[in-house]
Amino acid sequence: MADGHDPFALFDSWFAEARESEPAEPNAMALATATADGKPSVRMVLMKAHGPDGFTFYTHDRSRKGAEIAANPVAALLFHWKSLGRQVRIEGAVERVDAAEADAYFATRSRDSQLGAWASDQSQPLPERAAFEARFRDAQEKFAGMAVPRPRDWSGFRVVPEVFEFWTAREHRLHERRLFTRNADGWSEGLLYP
């Protein structure tokens, strides 16, 4: 399959351009999940890895997104690169990364980010900011002078694409939309009206 007809190669090309033109965090992506009964939610997360196996991000299992993924393991992603007039939508099943991959990524995080993962009860009610700051100090004391291990309930998730849509802005809202859909032979490609 030529690069122009391979959605992963096309994404790599667009992402390389976004890394040159976007002022901050070209790896920021909107992540949409839904409860088991279909109630949606969306938030921004950072893509930490990508390739033919999918698009990876990290979070707490007990976070809202973690709970929604456990109940309904499908998601949609959206990259929006305003400087390029482009966006990429991705839809697919969600799978957990293995422990070794999660451990390896966690080890690359700054120490304060590692400690923050221990201090945060992500998405749960917080009575006041001081409570979180106290938990952060407790984590600093607990792991003083030692490496910070990955919390058991903090892991990575990978969205395995079934659909890609590459959108390019054009004058007069005559935009271009290329749709790639996974099939038994690989990917089929078509266009959508803007």
Please state the domain extents for the chain. Answer: 3-106+152-192
pLDDT one-digit tens code per residue, 129-168? 999 999 999 999 999 999 999 999 999 999 999 999 999 9
Q: What is the pLDDT of residues 9-68, one digit of tens each?
A: 999 999 999 999 998 899 999 999 999 999 999 999 999 999 999 999 999 999 999 999
Separation between Cα atoms, residue 140 and residue 25, nearest integer Å: 28
Q: Is 173 a catalytic residue?
A: yes
pLDDT per position as a tens digit, 171-192: 998 899 999 999 998 999 999 9
Q: Of 150, 170, 173, 178, which one is the catalytic site residue?
A: 173
Dump the DSSP string for 115-155. HHHHH--TTS--S-HHHHHHHHHHHHHHTTTSPPPPPTTEE
DSSP state of 24: S
Residue 37: which region, alpha, beta or left (left: phi > 0; alpha: psi -120 to 50)? alpha
CA 116 to chain centre: 19
CATH code of domain 3-106+152-192: 2.30.110.10
Q: Of 123, 109, 100, 114, nearest to 41 (Cα)?
A: 123
pLDDT of residue 101: 97
Which single residue is written with the structure tokens 């999660």? 102
Residue 72 one-letter amino acid: N
Amino acid, res. 123: S
Percent of the chain clearing pLDDT 70 (strictly above): 98
Taken in order 37, 43, 45, 50, the sign of the CA dihedral is positive
The model carries a pTM of: 0.92
